[in-house]
Structure 1
Amino acid sequence: MSGHPAVVSAVQDTVARDGTSRSASRLLSEEKPVHRELKAELASPLGTEDGSPS
């Protein structure tokens, strides 16, 4: 799947939007919006909180 055109396109879009790295852990450099979005998407079907600070 890593070479699938949809995956490649999604990666390119994400890198263009968010860059490749903050050069530090999320603890030190805070979360990117994509981290919060991912946690919410993973928690949603389970009906749980995503664990993000308010």
Structure 2
Amino acid sequence: MTSIDDIMIDITPQVLLKAYACGIFPMAESAEDSALYWIEPERRGILPLGGI
């Protein structure tokens, strides 16, 4: 679950896949933090599916 202004939302596999396709992903501040934030990096790596 993640929170937006104290509103809890379920992160379903469908939501996660759509987010990844848009280049965003949920992440906590630390391993002990239960709150998740949506991260949208300016640059992202894309791995070719045919091999590295």
The structure richer in helix per residue is 1
TM-score, normalised via structure 2 length: 0.31
RCO higher in structure (CA 8 A, sep ≥6)? 2
Greater strand fraction, Structure 1 or Structure 2? 2
Scaled by the length of structure 1, what TM-score is found? 0.30
